[in-house]
Amino acid sequence: MQTRAIGTRQVGAIGLGGMPMSIEGRPDERRSIATIHGALDAGVTLIDTADAYHLYAGEVGHNESLIARALASWGGDASTVLVATKGGHLRPGDGTWTRDGSPAHLRSACEASLKRLGVDAIGLYQFHRPDPLVPYAESIGAIKELYDEGKIRIAGISNANPDQIRTAQQILGERLVSVQNQFSPAFRSSEPELDLCTELGLAFLPWSPLGGIGSAAGLGTSHARFQQVADELGVSPQRVCLAWMLAKSPVVIPIPGASRPETIIDSARAADLELSAEQFARLDAAAG
Ligand SMILES: NC(=O)c1ccc[n+]([C@@H]2O[C@H](COP(=O)([O-])OP(=O)(O)OC[C@H]3O[C@@H](n4cnc5c(N)ncnc54)[C@H](OP(=O)(O)O)[C@@H]3O)[C@@H](O)[C@H]2O)c1
């Protein structure tokens, strides 16, 4: 698989989003492990997760623990895999999402994630979502401390606007390597952040790149030109979507979610799908 940079590290250009394996509608553990192994066997070396990817109140870190178990039982070299987790978001267990960007919470969340992942330092630790009750610089300052103490190897931010990206870069310097924002054919309002990441050389990780768990299967219907190009190339519209994103900028690394091996294996092949300049222009104009 084609690789891309996150800081000084190279990863497969398509990552795996872990969320569908831990929230509403999640599959059983056996299928989840098969999905993660299928992704790794297909050349995926970036797995995105979060402590908040769980369903019930008492199982914080469900997805992190699942990934740790899948890596332990995989036949390949797990040291080649970058596990990217996040802190600062919480799920009380009633289907809602809450936030806590306080330094005290981020510290305890990071320490708990470290234990669940069973590593000395977290590969990539991302501040999940700005907390309106905590100054952004304070939350980012906490991430810097975690880095300086050796608890995380590199840092990222998520759901950040251009001002927040610049603030985070001022505080974190080279420790900051990635920005993870929502981006898909249906959600293009984060193009300014994507452009800023290209300018600053930060990896840009589109979340819900296929439109989200409930909409991904219908991408070819909701965005007919993606289906049209898919028919021209004899591939799925989801694969075309991911190839379109990759072609937008060399800093893009999509993290499509999956709960079945078939879907992530199909998505992984987007890393090697070439669109013609005309096809790219058609998709880029049509999306939105
Ligand atoms: N930072 C944040 O605030 C934030 C927010 C949301 C998500 N995320 C991250 O971003 C990741 C991706 O987002 P998402 O999971 O919400 O949405 P998504 O990637 O847009 O859609 C996920 C769904 O796409 C389906 N899919 C994947 N590849 C496919 C293919 N080639 N053909 C057909 N269907 C395909 C999967 O179906 P199956 O289930 O059938 O495999 C899966 O349920 C998450 O898993 C999570 O890691 C981050």
Q: How far is the centre of ligand 1, averaged over its atoms, from the C-alpha of 273 (Å)?
A: 19
DSSP 122: B
In sign, the C-alpha dihedral spanning 284, 278, 210, 186 is: positive
| pLDDT given for residue 287 in this prediction | 56
What is the reported pLDDT for 288? 46
What pLDDT shows up at residue 286?
67
User: What confidence score (pLDDT) does residue 223 get?
Assistant: 96
Tokens 């831990």 correspond to 22
CA of 213 to the centre of ligand 1 (A): 5
Does this model's pTM top 0.75? My answer is yes
Which protein residue has the closest C-alpha to ligand 1 atom 5? 207
Dist. CA 27 → ligand 1 center (Å): 14
| Residues 101, 157 contacting (CB under 8 angstroms) | no
User: Would the CB of 217 count as within 6 Å of ligand 1?
Assistant: yes
pLDDT value of residue 176? 98
> What are the pLDDT tens digits along the chain (288 aa)?
999 999 999 999 999 999 999 999 999 999 999 999 999 999 999 999 999 999 999 999 999 999 999 999 999 999 999 999 999 999 998 889 999 999 999 999 999 999 999 999 999 999 999 999 999 999 999 999 999 999 999 999 999 999 999 999 999 999 999 999 999 999 999 999 999 999 999 999 999 999 999 999 999 999 999 999 999 999 999 999 999 999 999 999 999 999 999 999 999 999 999 999 999 999 999 654
Amino acid found at 231: D
Q: Ligand 1 pocket, 257 CB below 6 A?
A: yes
| Dihedral angle sign, alpha carbons of residues 30, 48, 69, 109 | negative
Is 56 known to be catalytic? no
Q: How far is CA 51 from CA 24, 76, 99, 118, 136, in A?
A: 15, 25, 12, 14, 20
pLDDT for 156: 98
Pocket of ligand 1 contains residue 18 by CB under 6 Å: yes
Cα 208 to middle of ligand 1, angstroms: 5
| Active-site hit among 53, 125, 136, 147 | 53
Contact between residue 126 and residue 158 where contact means Cβ atoms under 8 Å apart: yes
95: left (phi over 0), alpha (psi -120 to 50) or beta: left
